[in-house]
A and B are shown apart, each in its own frame.
Chain A
Amino acid sequence: MNYLNEDIDSLNQKLAQGTLEADQLAQDTVANIKQTDDQLNAWITVQEDAKPDQDLDFAHHKLAGIPIAIKDNIITKDVKTTAASHILDNYLPVYDATVIEKLKEAHVTFVGKTNLDEFAMGSSTEHSYFGITHNPWNLDKVPGGSSGGSAVAVASGQVVAALGSDTGGSIRQPAAFNGIFGIKPTYGRVSRWGLIAFASSLDEIGVMSKRAKTSAQVLNVIAGQDEHDSTLSTRAVPDFTRFIGQAVKGMRVAVVKEYLDAVDGDMHDVIEQQIAVLKEAGAIIDEVSLPLTKYVVPDYYIIASSEASSNLQRFDGIRYGYRSKDAKDLLDVYVKSRSEGFGEEVQRRIMLGSFALSAGSYDRFFRQAAKVRTLICQDFDRIFADHDVIVGPTTTTPAFDIGSEIADPIKMYNNDILTISANLAGIPAASVPAGLVDGMPVGLQIMAKRFDEGSIFKVADFIERSNKFYEQTPTGMED
């Protein structure tokens, strides 16, 4: 089964009518993954015995029997969860993440766990203990990261939707690189219970799919209500699908000068074209400025790495995960297990975080970063006081060549300059396909005020219907 021309509605209809059996769907999905994944390496674990629940109620559960991919940093009971790290390569969780519990209540079929940058730290899915994931539009290009496996699983038609996580752009950047839709909801909209923590004040679970409506349907299921997450909002969750198909006429759209200036040539033209389409449809376009944009990368790396160094303390080789064979005393267990278990990028970020939080550096680095974060939030509040959405490019370039940036961390970090701000401010943001540049997809990023995912779905769906990018299929895979 290949899902390039399917969505949840079409599958639900076939399942309900009995022209498609859920069992067969699960088996065909696994068979297709096994057949195509030699080229892509989008999966860490494929559940070969994937089985749908019995007596599915297709009328009440749109997602019943539909196979969905899960990024492998989301805890799944009795199914290996590795965060793409050697330190967790045999970890078998004893409970489910809240999002998994909610998807189980909706009777989704689980088919496996997708590849990522180790502990979600990276922009290319090259930093995985389980090998590099390849972009289905061109196998020599990166799929983006850190949710590269989930993005590729959707873009290549292995599944109709996938969960990802986004700490600084990890859903939107791979969505842009693979020509799909990906949304990071408002911080606090979806429970983080059971998401292996990277940076707790920035992490957010979101959805990737070919069509915005599909993501709205999945988000409906995973958002809201959880007594396990004290940062979760108690606000009511709207039905996100009701924003699909609405007109954009009269919407107030801000275009950030600094974001547009960050892209040039053909990419600039593609983004301008999408903005022109919105204007033609009656949206009111204003140019605005976010002068702190040049500081978001350093701000993010201080905050994210500080939180990561704290969160990753729990990986000490004692209760679970990899333990070094050579350790002679207890301190040795910690140091050797961590040094042998964590990859280079993760160690780099732990060190940066420990440095920023250390006695002599705290004020100059961590405290200053937390203050700059306040100014970034205020800038967004100012724009959203009289605009519904901000639109612009998701990334500064299309997908780059595998191996071309991995030796230069600063170059790699700068890939996220356009996506990071949304995490620092906790606002929802998404990427919708805008077009192709040199045969590779580029994305249009849409941001909205906190808890206004609805405006994002409205604009994304409109863009989708205008450019019909979803009719295009990846061209890089060999037969």
Chain B
Amino acid sequence: MKITEETIKHVAVLSRLEINEKDLGQVTEQMSSIINMADQLSEVDTAVVEETVQVVDRDTVFRADQPEHWQDRTELMKNVPDQANGFIKVPVIINKDEDE
């Protein structure tokens, strides 16, 4: 299966990762060999086989449907990388000029 640099760039966008132009050739080559290793699976005849996504018989786990105060806000904010006035702070999403 032919994997091109364009495919890898597209996969990087889907993955929310960036690849430097200088590394692109090497990453493509490496991903290509891994994908071709994985493609060996197409040799297996699975025409009449169902998929397995979960191996254990599912026993539904129930718990009482009661709201509870599980976490303290300050506790939860402890790990937030950037915050202001008790809110999580992120870079501007809507540019003011675009809004006008």
- Do A and B share a complex? yes
Residues of A bordering B, CB below 8 Å = 90-92, 94-95, 186-188, 201, 226-227, 229-234, 292, 294-295, 297-299, 301-302, 309, 313, 316-323, 327-336, 338-339, 342, 347-348, 350-352, 354-356, 358, 364-365, 367-375, 377, 409-410, 413, 424-426, 450
> CA–CA, A425 to B30, complex, Å?
29
> CA–CA, A450 to B57, complex, Å?
11
Residue B76 is within 8 A (CB to CB) of chain A in the complex: yes
Whether A374 pairs with B51 at a CB distance below 8 angstroms is yes
Whether A364 pairs with B42 at a CB distance below 8 angstroms is yes
Whether B44 pairs with A368 at a CB distance below 8 angstroms is yes
Picked from B8, B35, B41, the residue with its CB within 8 Å of the CB of A372 is B41
A-B contact pairs, 17 of them (CB 8 A): A230-B60, A231-B58, A234-B59, A297-B37, A319-B79, A329-B92, A351-B17, A354-B15, A355-B35, A368-B41, A370-B53, A371-B50, A373-B51, A373-B52, A409-B30, A410-B33, A413-B34
Chain A residues near B14: list those with CB within 8 A.
354, 358
Extra contacts besides A232-B61, A323-B81, A370-B53 (10): CB < 8 Å: A295-B41, A329-B92, A332-B91, A347-B17, A351-B15, A355-B11, A365-B38, A372-B46, A409-B30, A410-B34
Chain B residues near A358: list those with CB within 8 A.
10-11, 14
Whether B37 pairs with A339 at a CB distance below 8 angstroms is no
B46, closest chain A residue (CB) = A371
> CA–CA, A352 to B90, complex, Å?
29
Chain A residues near B63: list those with CB within 8 A.
227
The 6 closest A-B pairs by CB, nearest first: A426-B55, A320-B79, A370-B51, A323-B81, A371-B46, A188-B56
Whether A299 pairs with B41 at a CB distance below 8 angstroms is yes
A327, closest chain B residue (CB) = B91
Whether A318 pairs with B88 at a CB distance below 8 angstroms is yes
Query: Taking the nearest CB of chain B, how far is it from the CB of A191, in angstroms?
Result: 10
Query: Taking the nearest CB of chain A, how far is it from the CB of B88, in angstroms?
Result: 6
> CA–CA, A368 to B92, complex, Å?
42
Whether A231 pairs with B54 at a CB distance below 8 angstroms is yes
> CA–CA, A323 to B88, complex, Å?
12
Query: Taking the nearest CB of chain A, how far is it from the CB of B75, in angstroms?
Result: 5
Query: Taking the nearest CB of chain A, how far is it from the CB of B36, in angstroms?
Result: 10
Whether A321 pairs with B59 at a CB distance below 8 angstroms is no
* Dominant secondary structure of chain B at its interface with chain A: loop
A231-B56, A335-B17, A368-B44 in contact; A356/B81 too (CB < 8 A)?
A: no
Residues of B bordering A, CB below 8 Å = 7-8, 10-12, 14-18, 27, 30-31, 33-35, 37-44, 46, 49-63, 71, 75-76, 78-82, 88, 90-93
Chain A residues near B92: list those with CB within 8 A.
329
Picked from B51, B56, B81, the residue with its CB within 8 Å of the CB of A371 is B51
Chain B residues near A336: list those with CB within 8 A.
18
Whether A352 pairs with B12 at a CB distance below 8 angstroms is no
A319-B88, A409-B30, A409-B34 in contact; A370/B52 too (CB < 8 A)?
A: yes
A231-B58, A355-B31, A409-B30 in contact; A321/B79 too (CB < 8 A)?
A: yes
Whether A94 pairs with B78 at a CB distance below 8 angstroms is yes
Whether B90 pairs with A301 at a CB distance below 8 angstroms is no
B40, closest chain A residue (CB) = A298
Chain B residues near A91: list those with CB within 8 A.
79
> CA–CA, A393 to B12, complex, Å?
38
Chain A residues near B33: list those with CB within 8 A.
410
